[in-house]
Amino acid sequence: MPSKRRILIQLVLSSFLFWSTAFSQESNSTQETPKFKYNLTLRNVVDLAIDQSSAVKYVQNTNVNYFWRWRNFQKTFLPNLVVSGTLPNFNQSTVPVTQPDGSIEFKEVSNLMASANLSLNQSIPLTGTYIYASTSASRVQDYYKKQTNFSGNPISFGFYQPIFAYNWMKWSKKTEPMIYNESQKNFVQSIEGIAYNATLRFFNYLRIQTDFKLAESALKNSNDNLRIAKTKQKLGQISENDFSRIELSVLNAQKALNSAGMQLKNSDFELKSYVGIDQNQEIELQMPLNITLFDIDSKKALKEAKENRPEAVNFERRLINSERDLTAAKRANGLAATLSGSYGLSNSGDYLTKIYHDPNRSQVLQLTLSIPILDWGRAASAVKMAESQRDLAQFDVQKAKEDFDRSVIVQVEQFSLLKGQLITAKEADRVAENGYKIALKKFQNGEISITDLNIALAERESAKRDYIGSLSTYWLAYYNLRILTLYDFETDQKIRYGNPMLAKAKEK
């Protein structure tokens, strides 16, 4: 009977605890939404930075800006249809009028004039020529003479041809495509730069997060050691000096934990701000242990770098710009000539329709010259300066090419050496971790002193930090190599990124 009563009481208590727990959970769920801690890998952090960071928005907008610059340039040399005119132009004044005998009389005039012109213009970049076709008409109403006259050109063709002049259109046709091509490569490079910066912040956070966990572990072990030491003190099995050292280790562990906690908050804020994560979201970083170690051929890396990086285009454009400036200096102060001409039909009459009835031919051919006679050597010095700047540009480009090639090769060689360093650091971390566990067990059994335990603890923390440092160096070198070559050696393909802002711009 007592056993049945005991069973009944246990069932009642179990039911009461179940419903109390359920009610408590229901009440808490209505008051506060539980927070989930996101475990983020390095790949997650890099992808978030590329997808939603403020840095990537700036890069995308810059890329769109260059697209519109390129689109505007493409439209520059297309034909354009222009309507111009004056409507109205009223004039009532007294003007001097020269008479047939040479005398001047002042006459009052009062008229209303209006004019309109429709022209189709086209530029030819290769020769720097402007051609046009136009039609125009004008109307003059004289209020004093009570008459209205019309005049105009039903059709007119013309051209404007600079001779021996600097042709900016020809040079822009060379450089503008290169500027746009360079901007596309810069876009990919900037995205990779964002990935590099995200990696830098990831490992900064991971290092501090590891320090925080080590501090937590050290404090827990120190408290355990202190509890054991108090028992030994009661039994007279520990000296006052060793007991004081154990108490001090607890205080030092608490201080280290507080310091690591403050640093963790700062790095947490910095990482979330950069990649665009809500500051209230709790995160924890996972150490990137799954690493595919691979070899990179320096010749292939250099080849890809020359093809993919914007520097190759920039080098060529700088040389073209230096030749352009030299040509401009030579043409600006030498013989200048302009040939212009037009052919068309013109007429006038009392009515607008008379302009188009049996019009007369109109022809103009004109050559203007400008020949500098004496400029005190200004033109020659301007040319010499442009030549010097061209030579300097050639030297700078050659040196920049050599530095670029060397930086790629050095980075590949350094990356190859990091594999062995990473493997060694990983093994050292494993050995130091096992050594600390053994030392902790021996200390708690009274086999070693607190000094020996602290040495093992310091070795464990140093090995852990070295391992994280080796991981950080490896991954930063990897992303730096991607920046230098804009090539993904893991997938063996060129790096490409889409721009949703650019896709929308192209639809317009």
User: What does the pLDDT look like over 339-359, one tens digit per residue?
Assistant: 898 998 888 888 888 888 888
Q: How far apart are CA 48 and CA 45, in angstroms?
A: 5
Q: Are 119 and 303 in contact (CB under 8 A)?
A: no
Strand duo 336-349 + 104-124: pairing: unpaired
pLDDT confidence of residue 15: 40
Give the residue, 378 or 508, on which the prediction is more confident: 378
Helices (H) and strands (E) in the chain, counts: 10, 10
Cα separations in angstroms, 484 against 76, 193, 306, 462: 35, 10, 9, 32
pLDDT confidence of residue 427: 87
Q: What is the H or E stretch that residue 38 is in? A: strand 38-40
Find, among 474, 364, 374, the residue nearest to 416 by Cα: 474
Q: How far apart are CA 102 and CA 439, in angstroms?
A: 122
Find, among 218, 212, 215, 219, the residue nearest to 268 by Cα: 212
pLDDT in tens, 396-422: 999 999 999 999 999 998 888 888 888
- List Cβ neighbours of 178 (8 Å cut-off, separation of 6 or more): 313, 316, 317, 320
What's the average model confidence in pLDDT over 124-140? 91
pLDDT in tens, 40-80: 999 999 999 999 999 999 999 999 999 999 999 999 889 99
pLDDT in tens, 476-489: 999 999 999 999 98
pLDDT in tens, 422-445: 888 888 888 988 998 898 888 788
CA contacts within 13 A on the Cβ side of 449: 9
Q: How far apart are CA 216 and CA 209, in angstroms?
A: 11
pTM of the model: 0.78
What's the average model confidence in pLDDT over 188-214? 92
Q: Give me the domains of the chain, ranges plus CATH numbers.
A: 50-66+173-319+392-507 (1.20.1600.10), 104-124+129-166+336-371 (2.20.200)
Phi/psi for 162 (5° steps) reads -70, 140
Q: What rounded mean pLDDT belongs to the chain?
A: 85
> Strand ranges (DSSP E) for 99-185?
104-124, 129-142, 147-163
Enter the DSSP assignment of 490. T
Q: Is the pLDDT of residue 8 over 70?
A: no
Q: How far apart are CA 391 and CA 397, in angstroms?
A: 10
Enter the DSSP assignment of 351. S
Q: How far apart are CA 128 and CA 150, in angstroms?
A: 35
